[in-house]
Amino acid sequence: MKSFVVLSAIITLASALTVNTPVSVVVCEPLQITWSPEGAVSPFYLSIVPAGQPTANAIKRFPRQDGTSYIWSAVDVPAGTSFTIDLKDGKGQEAFSAPVTAQGGGDTSCINGNVEEDGATRSPNSAAPGSVSPGVAAAESSGASEASSSPAAAAPARLRQLRLPRALRLLVPGRRQQVHRVAARRLASHHL
Q: Which pLDDT score, from 0 to 100, does residue 105 have? A: 86
As a whole-number percent, the residues of the chain with pLDDT over 90 amount to: 45
Predicted TM-score of the model (pTM): 0.55
Q: Which pLDDT score, from 0 to 100, does residue 111 have? A: 86
Q: Which pLDDT score, from 0 to 100, does residue 66 have? A: 93
Strand ranges for 37-151 from DSSP E: 45-50, 60-61, 69-72, 82-88, 94-96, 100-101
Question: What pLDDT, in 10s, does the model give residues 84-135?
Answer: 999 999 999 999 999 999 999 888 899 876 455 654 544 443 333 333 333 3
175-182 contact pairs (CB < 8 A, 24+):
176/73, 176/115, 176/116, 177/28, 177/73, 177/74, 177/109, 177/110, 177/114, 177/115, 180/109, 180/110, 180/114, 180/115, 181/109
Ranges 5-9, 25-29, 42-46, 67-71: which has the least confidence: 5-9
Contact 160, 168 (CB under 8 A): no
Question: What pLDDT, in 10s, does the model give residues 136-167?
Answer: 333 333 333 333 344 444 444 444 444 444 44
Q: Which pLDDT score, from 0 to 100, does residue 5 have? A: 43
Where does 17-101 sit in CATH, by number? 2.60.40.10
Is the pLDDT score of 177 beyond 80? Answer: no
Local confidence band at 2 (pLDDT 50, 70, 90 cut-offs) = low
Q: Which pLDDT score, from 0 to 100, does residue 128 have? A: 35
Ranges 25-29, 42-46, 67-71, 125-129: which has the least confidence: 125-129
Q: Which pLDDT score, from 0 to 100, does residue 162 have? A: 46
Instruction: Parse the chain into domains and list their residue ranges.
Output: 17-101, 134-191
Q: Which pLDDT score, from 0 to 100, does residue 112 have? A: 72
Q: Single out the residue of 74, 70, 81 nearest to residue 47, CA to CA.
A: 70
Q: Which pLDDT score, from 0 to 100, does residue 171 have? A: 44
Is the pLDDT score of 39 beyond 60? Answer: yes
What is the mean predicted confidence (pLDDT) over 12-17? 63
